Structure 1
Amino acid sequence: MAKVHPGRFTADIEGDFVVFLIGMRINKLWKIHKWLPVAMAMPAMQRAQAADPSIGMLGQQGWFGRTTILVQYWRTTEDLMTFARDPRYTHRGAWKAFNRAVGTSGDVGIWHETFVVRAGDYETIYGNMPLFGLAQAGAHVPVARRGERAQERLAHRDAS
């Protein structure tokens, strides 16, 4: 079980970073032969990402259900796009397999959203939590270091 850090913490990360949300939705539960290969493709990508810190992924967390979501933090969009296109990694093959097997049938939905966050343009709070989210990808620091209130933590960016 993950160690809980009692108290209030926030995240601190140097420079710009990218938040990448990606997932799938099982639209037709009975078509396991369509959605299971899609679901199984992600762990291989995650293993490749974890095995090579030089690719620029800072951290990730995921949740599996009918709608699956994976939240990843990347240093740059270039790092993310390089991973997606590089034939050394499994993404390209998984994308081609999805298009062949599912295509536009509607059996399985996939999605992603990419957000570029400029240095200091974020606010986080973690109360009595294990390392999580941006605090796991960056630095996990006491709230007082960046401000006691959300407004102060956001204003901190202007002081930098």
Structure 2
Amino acid sequence: MAQEIFPGRYTAATDEDITVFLIGMRANRWWKLGPVLRVASAMPRMLEHLERDPDAGMLAWHQWLGRTTLLVSYWKSPEHLQRFAADRDAPHLEPWRDFMRTVAGTGDIGVWHETYQVPASGIEVVYNGMPAFGLARATRHVPVTAGLNTARQRLRAQGAG
């Protein structure tokens, strides 16, 4: 499905703190296709589950694929993220346990994640000629207007002084 492109400059606006979660995997031994595909196939089920359940707290996501994959997701809070990770009824625990039993420690596949808690006052973004993307997709996608032209102005508007 084609995404609408917004000509001109846009930014994101939010009054809430955001949790940014980066996660990915690296096919260290890419020729071992079976384990690589098994591990990689777990993520689409998780994303479908999260998109069907807005109360889970994931606001938006973007993914890039390659030997090292990267998924950037935006969450309402770290508690929402942790609750999903530990939820026995969500499609995360079983694939994680399977990975730990069968792949972890072999060196075939690496997995990683990073979590950042970002205060609303510390957010500054700009998009030019892009679809609603990143933080603007997760929060409010707004045009850059007078007073929001520079990074300093956008930070000030978010309350960073």
Superposition misfits of 4+ residues, deviation over 4 angstroms: none
Q: 1:33 and 1:44 mapped to 2: Cα distance?
A: 18
CA drift at 1:145: 6.6
Describe the superposition over 1:111-131 as per-residue Cα deviations: whole angstroms up to 9, x where unpaired. Answer: 000000012211100000011
CA drift at 1:146: 6.0
Which residue does 1:52 correspond to in 2?
A: 53
- 1:85 to 2:86 alignment: yes
Q: 1:94 and 1:109 mapped to 2: Cα distance?
A: 14
Which amino acid is the alignment partner of residue 80 of structure 1?
A: L
- 1:123 to 2:111 alignment: no
Which residue does 1:43 correspond to in 2?
A: 44
Identical pairs, percent: 46
Which residue does 1:69 correspond to in 2?
A: 70
Q: 2:147 and 2:135 mapped to 1: Cα distance?
A: 14
Q: 1:59 and 1:47 mapped to 2: Cα distance?
A: 12
Work out whether residues 19 and 74 of structure 1, in 8 Å CA contact, stay in contact via their aligned partners in 2: yes
Work out whether residues 121 and 160 of structure 2, in 8 Å CA contact, stay in contact via their aligned partners in 1: no
Work out whether residues 148 and 154 of structure 2, in 8 Å CA contact, stay in contact via their aligned partners in 1: yes
Work out whether residues 28 and 107 of structure 2, in 8 Å CA contact, stay in contact via their aligned partners in 1: yes
CA drift at 1:33: 1.4
Which residue does 2:114 correspond to in 1?
A: 113
CA drift at 1:98: 0.5
Which amino acid is the alignment partner of residue 96 of structure 1?
A: R
RMSD across aligned positions (CA)? 1.4
Q: 2:146 and 2:71 mapped to 1: Cα distance?
A: 29
Unpaired stretches in structure 2, ≥5 consecutive residues: none
Q: Mean Cα displacement is larger for which, 144-153 or 60-69?
A: 144-153
Which amino acid is the alignment partner of residue 133 of structure 1?
A: G
Work out whether residues 10 and 146 of structure 1, in 8 Å CA contact, stay in contact via their aligned partners in 2: no
Change in Cα spacing, 1:42 to 1:7, as seen in structure 2 (3 Å) is same
After TM superposition, the score normalised by the length of structure 2 is 0.95
Q: 1:6 and 1:103 mapped to 2: Cα distance?
A: 45
Unpaired stretches in structure 1, ≥5 consecutive residues: none
Matched pairs, number: 160
CA drift at 1:157: 3.0
